[in-house]
Structure 1
Amino acid sequence: MKPDSKDLTALAPFPVVLPSWQHAPATVRAFTTTRHGGVSLGPYGDATGSAGLNLGDHVNDNLAAVKQNRDKLNRQLPSDVIFLSQVHGNIILNAADLVVGNTNIGDAVLSTQAGQVCAVLTADCLPVLFTDVAGTVVAAAHAGWRGLAGGVLQNTVSAMRNKGVQEIIAWLGPAIGPQEFEVGRDVLDAFAAQVPGMQTYFKAKASQDGSEKYLADLYGLARKLLNDIGVSQVAGGERCTVTEVGQFYSYRRDGVSGRMASLIWIAPD
């Protein structure tokens, strides 16, 4: 059996961000990695020029380095992660159905089995981790603006409820903050049909070319969407991947960037 501990900060040989949620079941483990603690170099390293923990194998990093980073992560987990092929959509997969070497296209994954890890990769998009209050179902969702507008969070919650759970809690992991996420009118329009009062989450911003620009609040949009479907316990949303250069990878900030993982599982007995 691989190691398992409630104190993940003491367990992991690399820095992690723990969910700030309250009332989480004692059997559930969750964290988000940072850019520290791996072997990747260059733009995939940390902010000081040292090696970094890039976990994305699709960002032109050295694949041998990515494998070493993933192996280091897997040694701290009850099961090896099978990462999704994320497409900014709303497909939810069951972790039990994922197959090593297959494409596994989806943007969220859930599990009811102890020791089975759910994970998503991000570098500005919003990772959302879920558990029911009894700790019988967990899930991880990748929610950039396209996924949010397309219903990835609603689909994840629906899939969890189809497993027989009712009260669900969520944590909004590190993502681009509301003062950094500049978008065009197309993003605002994408939310107009499904988020009443969505203007609250878009602040007009002056642009040099005169085009419509806004600062979008991914965290606010996610909370609103979750609250509207009965998920009232929503924690997190305090971090910013763009401004916290020393902690997080950011595609918006750097262009070429690694990826963090947000992971959740039910601890094995």
Structure 2
Amino acid sequence: MSEALRPGPFLHADWPAPPGIHAFTTLRHGAGASQAPFHTFNLGNRYAAEGDAPAVVERNRAELVRIAGLPAEPHWLRQVHGIDVVRVDGPGQGAEPAADASVTSTPGTVLAILTADCLPVVFAADDGSEVAAAHAGWPGLSAGMLEATVAAMRTPPDRLVAWIGPAAGPERYEIGAEVRDRFLAWDACVDTAFVPTRPGHWRVDLFAIARMRLARAGVARVYGGDVCTLSDPQRFFSHRRDARTGRMVTLVWIDPSPAS
């Protein structure tokens, strides 16, 4: 077993990625030292006014590198619910750029996306030459975050495979008219992703909308999108469910030594 695939508090991506491509989302328990309400494997909130203790988060992040056998420190982003994408090379260090997606063709460079209900989406070229990771909450998804990520990659869309990690699922995630209108402005066909609940509110299937938008961008091979953070408090943090809570991280990288 590759060091990168060792067992641990991880949900590994179930997708037909080429050899040497690794991706997973962390679980909320099984590692880490954060106290309630961030217990225990919180990897985010370092800069929030009411967030977890920064020193504890740093220890959790160091533990992540160790127990997952990562080839380098992840390249963290300061996520702002936008559509900016950065291309990175080498280990993450120093200031975290304000962006919601990253792309690399450099083996050993680990891309990271923090979530607690938003969609984490990872991409890989079918020849293993490039990967990307995107954070798509409803603001970013409706504004074109996934399309921007695909456009930033050097790999043609029809040669990409994508995996959608754990996020707020269609049975639990309720939104109002403003959110629905933002999506319908892109294409009225996405109305099929909304189920009315009470006046002015709908349950929304963000997974389905992501698949629609990726298909329009030329990415046909999309996997995952079937694990709900809201309905699984034992495994996942959820901002919508708990308000003040921790963050999971979704990672993707190209193995620097695929033959290992």
Flag whether TM exceeds 0.5 (same fold).
yes
Residue from 175, 182, 185 that aligns with 2:177: 185
Match of 1:120 in 2: 113
Q: Which residue matches 1:134?
A: 127
Partner of residue 63 from structure 2, selected from 67, 72, 77: 72
Aligned to 2:41: 53
Q: How does 1:20-35 map to 2 (within 5 A)?
A: 20-22=14-16, 24-35=17-28
Structural mapping, 1:244-259, within 5 Å: 244-259=232-247
Is 1:198–2:195 an aligned residue pair?
Answer: no
Q: How much has 1:159 moved relative to structure 2?
A: 1.0
Deviations 1:155-179 (A, max 9, x none): 111111x356741010000000001
Mapped to 2, the partners of 1:232 and 1:219 lie a distance apart of 14
Give SS of 2:94's match. coil
Corresponding residue number in structure 2 for 1:63: 54
Give the distance between the partners of 2:156 and 2:3, measured in 1 at CA: 26
C-alpha RMSD of the superposition: 1.7
CA contact (8 A) 2:72 2:109 kept: yes
User: Unpaired segments of 5 or more residues in structure 2?
Assistant: none
d(CA) in 2 for partners of 1:106, 1:25: 27
Could you list the runs of 5+ residues in structure 1 that have no partner in the other structure?
Answer: 46-51
The reply to whether residue 265 of structure 1 matches residue 256 of structure 2 is no
Q: Secondary structure at the match of 1:179?
A: coil
Letter in 2 for 1:236: G
Question: For residues 108-257 of structure 1, what are the structure 2 equivalents within 5 Å?
Answer: 108-160=101-153, 162=154, 166-206=158-198, 211-257=199-245
Distance 1:100 1:78 in 2: 14
Q: CA deviation at 1:230?
A: 1.4
Quick one: which amino acid aligns to residue 250 of structure 1?
Answer: S
SS of corresponding position for 2:15: coil
Residue 71 of structure 1 aligns with an amino acid whose one-letter code is A
Q: Cα distance, 1:196 vs. partner?
A: 3.9
- Counterparts of 1:21 and 1:108 in 2: how far apart (Å)? 20
TM-superposed deviation, 1:27: 1.1
Residue 42 (1) aligns with residue 36 (2): yes
Residue 229 of structure 1 aligns with an amino acid whose one-letter code is A
The answer as to whether partners of 1:93 and 1:106 remain within 8 angstroms in 2 is yes
User: Which piece of structure 1 moves more, 187-196 or 248-257?
Assistant: 187-196
Moved over 3 A (4+): 162-166
The answer to whether the Cα contact below 8 Å between 1:95 and 1:117 also exists between their aligned partners in 2 is no
- Aligned counterpart, 2:10: 16
User: For 2:210, what is the secondary structure of its paired residue?
Assistant: helix
Contact 1:201 1:220 in 2 (8 A): yes
User: TM-score with structure 2 length normalisation?
Assistant: 0.92
1:5 paired with 2:2, answer yes
Query: Partners in 2 of 1:147 and 1:173 — Cα distance?
Result: 16
Q: Which amino acid aligns with 2:47?
A: H
SS at match of 2:186: coil
Residue 80 of structure 2: aligned partner: 87
User: How many matched pairs?
Assistant: 251
Secondary structure of 1:121's partner? strand
Cα 1:134–1:218 change in 2 (3 A) is same
The letter of the residue matching 1:18 is H
> 3-state SS of the aligned residue for 1:78?
coil
Cα distance in 1 for residues equivalent to 2:140 and 2:96:
19
CA distance in 1, matches of 2:244, 2:61: 19
